[in-house]
Structure 1
Amino acid sequence: MVEQGNGIPLDSKLFEKRGYNKDIMPKPVEQRNSSAFNFFTLWMGAVHNIPNYTAVGGFLLLGLSPLQVIIALVLSSFLIALLLVANGYAGSKYGIPFAMHLRHTYGDIGAKLPGILRGVVAGIAWFGLQTYAGSQALLILISKVFPGFTHIGDGATFLGITIPGFIAFIIFWVINFAIGFGGGDVLNKFTAFLNPLIYIVFGGMTIWGIYVAGGVGNIVHYDLDSNSGLLYPALLAFFLIFNSLLGVWAGPGSSVADFTQNSKSTKSQIIGQTAGIVVAQTLFAVASVSIIIGGSIYIGHQEWNILTIINEWSSFWAILVALGVLLLTTISTNATSNIIPAAYQLSALFPKIVNYKRGVMIASIVSVLIMPWKMMENEDSIFVFLNMIGAILGPVTGVMIVHFYFVAKCKINIDELYFDVNVKERAIPKVNQAAYIATIIGVVVCLLGFLPGFKVISDFSWFIGFLSSGLIYLLLKSLNKKEQGA
């Protein structure tokens, strides 16, 4: 019917007749245009966003030295790259998107739950957090132009947020909603312009941080006031940082096939993603620590929030440029990585009543109801959020990788995946029960970490979820094989 591997598909009308739209069809070779350089630039700008800088501010309170935090950030880049490359192999080899990668792992109907976990739960939560983080940057800009704006409401709060803060949130929420409602394709047109601008601005901020600190030595030897509630032995503190950053990348890490399906070859995505993540994360490690510690020295006390540091600058134009770039990166990542996946998953869950645009509306409304400002109240709350995402998506990714590499042996039959041509053997079942059991157990175990006395599970949720679900799934499949052979 169709050729396997790199020769798919031959006839797109065949897929259309079975209800597959162009986004779900496997990409033929002639349509795979993403080179190693494209993947390199894809992730270069993704690390410079407000939640990432906020997370680094929290890392500096773990009891590690600034140099150790930089080393941990650099080392984490190799784990992130490995995650993206490994889970992206199915997409680059067969040209299939995330939705079909899930179907191959969890089954036709079974793919809906992990799709919801990625697109709806994680997607909406990240959309809300990014929108709130961006609104804080917008609030600073508005207050610089209209100093009286911050006095609206005389300190009164609404749903746990000040009136000026809520107004800024709604303004920025409307902008993100509008872009999501219209689709994220337009964002790709200025990525080539945005990425160089990001490194010019944050490069300048890094030089500023080193200058006001009195040199690199003062940054490296800065005496950090650690938060006693987050203290770990050095090795565990490193893994806590790894876990939090894997939580940051848990969404793209699970749905990376949506990107790698466009890869010219598997080699292209391996080289491009690895180089992009490692270079970007290394530069981010130096920049974030230098800016936060340099800024702390500049304002006279240890500060974990980059927005507070920028707000202390005396130059309006410097504030405008820095916050403007942060707003642009937030809008870009928010549309492509959060609201769009959430809308598509809602559409897949309720295809008869929810289309893409209704999905955007539902996801956007829910992102306000979850009150995302609670996720960035202090340096601890960002850890809770990242660990929650890790608890949800770590198990899903663990099962996906184990299934593709150890159960399917890196082989996908496109005919069976799309057309159910081998129904007797049920190659693609409606629900892969073993995958479901393993995923649910992993998620439940990780969520126990949010109960009193189990905090250590929460702090390492991505690793625990990934390993426990992956191993349980492998064990269940092995037992099933033995029963069939008996």
Structure 2
Amino acid sequence: MCPTDPGAAMEPDHKALAALDPSGRLYNEDLAPATERKWSTYSFFAVWMSAIHNIGTYTFVAGLFVIGLSGWQVLAAILIGTGILFFGMNWAGRMGQRTGVPFPVMARISFGIWGANIPALIRAVIAICWYGIQTYLASMAVVVLLLRINPELQQWQNQSFLGLSLLGWACFILLWVLQLVVITRGMEAVRRFQDWAGPIVWVVMLAMAVWLFAQAGWNIPMDMSVKPLSGGDAFLGVLTGAFLLVATYATMLLNYCDFTRFATSDKAVVRGNFWGIPVNFAAFAAISITMTIGTVVVFGEAITDPALILAKVPDTAVLVLGAVMFIVATIGVNVVLNFVSPAYDLANVWPKHITFKRGGIISAVLALLVMPWNLYSNPVVVNYFLGGLGAFLGPLFGIMAADYFLVNRGIINIKDLYRSDESGAYFFRKGVNPKAIAVFVPTAILAAILALVPAFSAAAAFAWPIGLVTAGVAYYLAMGGAKPAVAAGEPEAELEPAE
């Protein structure tokens, strides 16, 4: 039936949807529209805390200081970037909340029922590789802390297997297993984990900040810069930092519907985004940049890894607590950014046999098999392969957002997302929308060139928004503008209304 609240998703008839896909190539219970909507404002706030409160974010903020921005300029870059991210996530979140479907199913609207596997697999490859790399980096932080607590463990650090020390293997497998335990229990387990994992990281960060403040004589100059930039260079540095922040979370922008499909309301998403992105990110960045400047005052150099700061604390109990916090932080960011998406993406490839749980297990195994320590140590892989794939995310989101908001105007035939015959609205040509592919290929190449070719290094930080805008405009024109409000021959009750 058609919902009375225009902001609510339809109540899906799962049996009817399953009947539309006798081949089993489009439907399973995990890919069907969500029926349980339990994610509140706090749930999304907690998601962002988990995504932000981690070593990578601290290192990103500290890196802006190292390139020459002052503390205040770093905060300005963060505020601009989070403002852009906030509005983008609201758009992405609305798509999921209204339809109740995960990212690979959402991609069927613009790319076709089979063509959707293209953006889904691109997102999955990026997520799986970064899942392994993030786990490796956090495990190395735990190794540093363990060696500080018990120097006798050095003997295990001196022995290696497949390029990683035995102690490194132990820490990596520990984090790998803990994350697998969370994700294989389903999205409700993810929600419950996020509810406490995000806030708990604040404890160790605030404690470390207070300790550094004390060591610095309670005076940390926020106008300090390691190599002050001129007015024009500083302005460009602020904008570059802002768009690099947006590009860093572009993966989440693409598949945010994986989470918002479980939202109680559109307002819950917007409010959670507000407290979780601009407010929470600014606060975490303020702590991070304060700590970075504090390391210059106290130790004479900018330390960009919080684990190395923690290792300097003389109290063993604090070190143990810090190690636990870093484990929690890594699980949080990996579950949000790098684990949920490939679980759905792989399920979309073969839904008859791959559920969300099995997709998560496959993702974790692949992340282990790629031996991420070797990936991370190879600049070609990280910068060109993963960087190139990352540049594709702007055009992908540009196409999907233009299709949902401009071409279809938020009116989506939910049933046809699971219809495998030619009469479906999203069958296009043999299950693929050739116009979406024709737009994606050149705009993705453009974004990749801007991001990777040294001659365009000045524009590299802006590859993502350029790719998004060019792809969105080109797709809208290719599709001939907006469609009629109600597709011919389709009863209005089967359509998803826009607000």
Aligned partners of 1:76 and 1:245 also within 8 Å = yes
Determine which of 186, 191, 201 is the counterpart of 2:204. Answer: 201
Is 1:188 paired with 2:191? yes
User: Larger helix proportion, structure 1 or 2?
Assistant: 1
1:211 aligns with 2:214: yes
Q: Which residue number in structure 1 is paired with residue 142 of structure 2?
A: 138
SS in 2 for 1:32: coil
Q: Is the 8 A contact 2:134 2:334 kept in 1?
A: yes
Shift of 1:340: 3.6
Deviation at residue 384 of structure 1 after TM alignment: 7.6
1:1-400 equivalence runs, <5 A: 6=8, 8-9=10-11, 11-19=13-21, 20-27=27-34, 31-118=36-123, 120-152=124-156, 154=158, 162=165, 164-181=167-184, 183=186, 185-215=188-218, 218-225=220-227, 233-351=233-351, 359-373=359-373, 387-388=387-388, 390-400=390-400
Matched-pair contact (CA < 8 Å) for 1:131–1:176: no
TM-score (normalised: structure 1)? 0.85
Change (3 A) 1:325 1:480: closer
Looking at structure 2, the residues matched to 462 and 38 of structure 1 have their Cα atoms a distance apart, in angstroms, of 28
Return the letter of the residue paired with 2:63.
G
* Distance in 1 (alpha carbons) for counterparts of 2:56 and 2:378: 12
Q: Aligned letter for 1:432?
A: N
CA distance in 1, matches of 2:383, 2:56: 10
Q: Aligned partners of 1:305, 1:455: CA distance in 2, in Å? A: 26
CA RMSD of aligned residues (A): 3.5
Q: Which moved more, 1:202-211 or 1:177-186?
A: 177-186
Displacement of 1:113 after TM fit? 0.6
The structural deviation recorded for 1:209 is 3.0
Give, as a single letter, the amino acid of the residue that structure 2 aligns with 1:287: I
Cα-to-partner distance string for 1:326-378 (whole Å, 9 max, x where unaligned): 21121133234423422332233245675556544543343245453467669
Q: CA deviation at 1:445?
A: 1.9
The answer to whether the 8 A contact 2:32-2:101 is kept is yes
- Give the aligned partner of residue 416 of structure 1: 416
Shift in Å, 1:250: 1.6
CA contact (8 A) 1:450 1:458 kept: yes
Instruction: Work out the CA distance in 1 between the residues paired with 2:380 and 2:427.
Output: 46
Against the structure 1 CA distance between its residues 474 and 191, is the aligned structure 2 distance closer, same or farther, given a 3 Å change threshold? closer
Q: 1:71 to 1:14 in 2, by over 3 A?
A: same
Mapped to 1, the partners of 2:482 and 2:116 lie a distance apart of 21
Separation in structure 1 between the aligned mates of residue 180 and residue 88 of structure 2, nearest angstrom = 30
In 2 relative to 1, CA 63–403 (structure 1 residues): closer, same or farther, beyond 3 Å? Answer: same
**8 A contact 2:43–2:194 mirrored in 1:** no
Instruction: Judge which range, 262-271 or 276-285, deviates more.
Output: 262-271
- In structure 1, what is the Cα distance between the partners aligned to 2:98 and 2:482? 28
Instruction: Report how far residue 454 of structure 1 moved.
Output: 3.5
116 and 457 in structure 1: CA distance in 2 versus 1, 3 angstrom threshold: farther
Contact map agreement 2:46 2:199 (CA 8 A) in 1: no
CA distance in structure 2 between the partners assigned to 1:189 and 1:442 by the alignment = 39
Give the superposition deviation at 1:194: 3.0
**Residues 351 and 379 of structure 1: is their aligned pair in 2 closer, same or farther, counting only changes over 3 Å?**
closer
TM-score norm. by structure 2 comes to 0.83
Partner letter of residue 66 of structure 1? G
Checking the alignment, whether the CA contact within 8 Å between 1:130 and 1:334 is kept in structure 2 is yes
Moved more, 323-332 or 185-194: 185-194
Unaligned runs of 5+ in 1: 482-486
Between the aligned partners of 2:291 and 2:143, the Cα distance in structure 1 is: 21
State the alpha-carbon separation in 2 of the partners of residues 45 and 212 from structure 1.
29
Alpha-carbon separation, structure 1, partners of 2:314 and 2:108: 54
5+ residue gaps, structure 2, are 22-26, 484-499
**More deviation in 174-183 or 378-387?**
378-387
> Do the aligned partners of 2:421 and 2:427 also contact (CA within 8 Å) in 1?
no
Percentage of pairs with the same residue: 28
**TM-aligned CA deviation for residue 107 of structure 1:** 0.9
Determine the C-alpha separation between the residues in 2 that align with 1:365 and 1:425: 36
Kept in 2, the 8 Å contact 1:247–1:389? The answer is no
How has the CA–CA distance of structure 1 residues 385 and 77 changed in structure 2, closer, same or farther, with 3 Å as cutoff? farther
* Number of aligned residue pairs: 474
